[in-house]
Structure 1
Amino acid sequence: MKVCLVGSSGGHLTHLYMLKPFWKDKERFWVTFDKEDAKSMLKGEKVYPCYFPTNRNLKNLIKNTFVAWKVLRKEKPDLVISSGAAVAVPFFYLAKLMGSKLIYIEVFDRIDKSTLTGKLVYPIADKFIVQWDEMKKVYPKAINLGSIF
């Protein structure tokens, strides 16, 4: 199984990295910002940089859609996992068209209100994971696995 882990640097990337017990023995690659925290955390991993800032930035959404097209066609992941933010959107929609399975993890600091990325990918995610029971009211089909932390 080949896994694509896509997310903004900072907390989103930290969420994905904390899933190491799942991804450590799988073929994988990462898509994140070319920033120092990401470089440090992902040293030795296969990483594709994406454009930032992403939130509500139409220009970088378009650029990241081209990045997603190129990377997904090359790598052909079986599974795409993200915890946000906006960079996940083009990767999820294009990966869905290419037959990949999608898992989205809504961020820990959202207890009773959706994120914009969560709203956008919820309809197409194969598994949508929340970390609080209250979020099941926001995302009825979500699975609450509790805190990643």
Structure 2
Amino acid sequence: MYDERIICYASVAVLIPILCLLTRLAYILPAANNPSNSGVSDITSIIDGKKNVNIMILLGSGGHTGEMLRLIESIEWKYFTRTWVLSSTDKSSLSKVQEVERSLLTAKKEEPKYLMVPRARNINEGLLSSIKSTLISFISISLAIIRLPVLPSILLLNGPGTSVPLAYFIFLLKFLGLCKTRIVFIESLARVNSLSLSGILLLPISDRFIVQWPYLSQKYKRAEYYGILV
């Protein structure tokens, strides 16, 4: 009888924390619904842009960088402070975003922040090697973000591999109640019939998940479609 009581108490002690964690997870996971597309006209509408918010934007090099810079052309930057996340080896994207920053004419110019982190996965990288590089990227991203004086209000992503560790670390902070960052993922224009691997992994945790082809919004319940945005 004594042993049975110990087992019973131990089981309850283990199950209650697990139940609390699962309840918390269910509470913060974005609701599985399809928002109405009425009134949506540009990226500012999609990210629910408001005054005096901090937006963190990941530039993924090459085509991803080009698409992202086209996506954000219509943003009224005077309402945002900016944190750019780039691969530590991506000098081209850094040069392009610095050019964008120089061209900004805002009523109250805020100095942007740049986070240079290791790339999560290189092109044609093997599975084992990509797992290692993703872990290194996650650790590096974690250390960089916790040093920020203010965590972002919005995280804007469009598909490069580094978006996965970045978004999941932000989601971990949300789980712990340390931030309320809205994760907005916009799938690449190149993804016509299926989501990218990054998209599949980020679909459950993204507050807004945007695709640029109607078929994808029909195939994936949480995907929102507003036409081609780039």
Is 1:108 matched with 2:167?
no
Deviation of 1:108 after TM superposition, in Å, equals 0.1
Q: Give the aligned partner of residue 42 of structure 1.
A: 97
Runs (5+) with no aligned partner, structure 1 = none
Letter matched to residue 16 of structure 1: M
Letter in 2 for 1:108: L
2:169 is equivalent to residue 94 of structure 1: yes
Q: 1:46 to 1:125 in 2, by over 3 A?
A: same
Work out the CA distance in 1 between the residues paired with 2:114 and 2:213: 30
Q: How many matched pairs?
A: 149
Report if the CA contact (8 A) 2:210-2:224 is conserved: yes
Cα contact 1:7–1:84 (8 A) shared by 2: no
- Higher fraction of helix: 2
Structure 1 segment 1-12 matched on structure 2, within 5 A:
1-12=53-64
Q: Does 1:27 align with 2:77?
A: no
What is the TM-score of this pair, normalised by structure 2?
0.60
Q: Note the residue ranges of structure 2 that are not aligned, 5 or more in a row.
A: 1-52, 102-111, 175-180
Shift of residue 46 of structure 1?
A: 2.8
SS of residue matched to 1:21? coil
1:126 corresponds, among 191, 207, 218, to 207
Q: CA deviation at 1:35?
A: 2.0
Deviations 1:120-149 (A, max 9, x none): 000000000000101113322111121122
Q: CA RMSD in A?
A: 1.8
CA distance in 1, matches of 2:222, 2:85: 27
Q: 1: CA distance between counterparts of 2:61 and 2:54?
A: 21
**Structure with greater strand share of residues:** 1
Which residue of the partner structure matches residue 137 of structure 2? Answer: 64
For 2:146 and 2:226, the matched residues in 1 are separated by 31
Question: Identity percentage over the alignment?
Answer: 23
* Structure 1 length-normalised TM: 0.90
Rg comparison, structure with higher value: 2
Evaluate the alpha carbon distance shift between residue 52 and residue 91 of structure 1 in structure 2; reply closer, same or farther with a 3 A threshold.
Answer: closer
Tell me the amino acid that sits aligned with residue 141 of structure 1: R
Distance 2:222 2:170 in 1: 21
